[in-house]
Amino acid sequence: MDIFPISLKLQQQRCLIVGGGHIAYRKAVLLVKAGAIIDVIAPEIQADLLKLIQQRQGQYFQEKFKATAELRHYRLVIAATDHAEINRLVFEVCEAANILVNSVDDPPHCRFMVPAIVDRSPLIISIASNGTSPVLSRQIRTQLEAIIPHGMGALAEFSGKWRNRVKEVIQNPDERRIFWENLYKSSLKEKVFNHQISEADVLIEQALVEWNTPKGEVYLVGAGPGDPELLTLKALRLMQQADVVIYDRLVSTPILELCRRDATKIYVGKARSNHAVPQEGINALLVQYAQEGKRVCRLKGGDPFIFGRGGEEIQELFDANVAFQVVPGITAASGCSAYAGIPLTHRDYAQSVRFLTGHLKEGSPELPWNELVYENQTLVLYMGLMGLEKICQKLIEHGQRSNMPVALISKGTTPEQKVVIGTLADIVTKVADSQIQAPTLTIIGEVVTLREQLKWQD
CATH number of domain containing 39 = 3.40.50.720
Q: Is the pLDDT of residue 191 over 60?
A: yes
Domain boundary residue, one of 184, 209, 234: 209
pLDDT the model gives residue 130 = 85
In a domain, 7, yes or no: no
In a domain, 122, yes or no: no
Q: Chain-wide mean pLDDT for the chain? A: 93
pLDDT the model gives residue 134 = 85
Contact 395, 415 (CB under 8 A): no
Q: Is the pLDDT of residue 365 over 70?
A: no
pTM: 0.79
* Angle subtended by helix axes 47-55 and 22-33, to nearest 10: 20
For residue 223, the enclosing domain spans: 217-330
Confidence grade of residue 2 (pLDDT, cut at 50, 70, 90): confident
Q: Is the pLDDT of residue 1 over 80?
A: no
What's 171's domain CATH number?
1.10.8
Q: Known catalytic residues? A: 248, 270
What's 396's domain CATH number?
3.30.950.10
pLDDT the model gives residue 273 = 55
pLDDT the model gives residue 438 = 86
What's 255's domain CATH number?
3.40.1010.10
Is the Cα dihedral 43, 49, 55, 58 positive or negative? negative
In a domain, 326, yes or no: yes
Average pLDDT, integer, range 242-256:
94
In a domain, 433, yes or no: yes
Write down the H helix ranges in 116-257: 134-147, 151-169, 173-184, 188-193, 197-209, 233-241, 253-256
Confidence grade of residue 132 (pLDDT, cut at 50, 70, 90): confident
pLDDT the model gives residue 363 = 53
Question: Do residues 225 and 326 both lie within one domain?
Answer: yes
Domain boundary residue, one of 330, 355, 384: 330
Question: Do residues 166 and 225 both lie within one domain?
Answer: no
Q: Is the pLDDT of residue 296 over 60?
A: yes
Q: Is the pLDDT of residue 92 over 60?
A: yes
- Total structural domains in the chain? 4
Q: Is the pLDDT of residue 348 over 80?
A: yes
Domain boundary residue, one of 209, 225, 249: 209
Question: Do residues 62 and 170 both lie within one domain?
Answer: no
Q: What is the CA radius of gyration of the chain?
A: 30
Segment (H or E) for 353: strand 352-357
Question: Do residues 420 and 358 both lie within one domain?
Answer: yes
pLDDT the model gives residue 358 = 72
Q: Is the pLDDT of residue 427 over 70?
A: yes
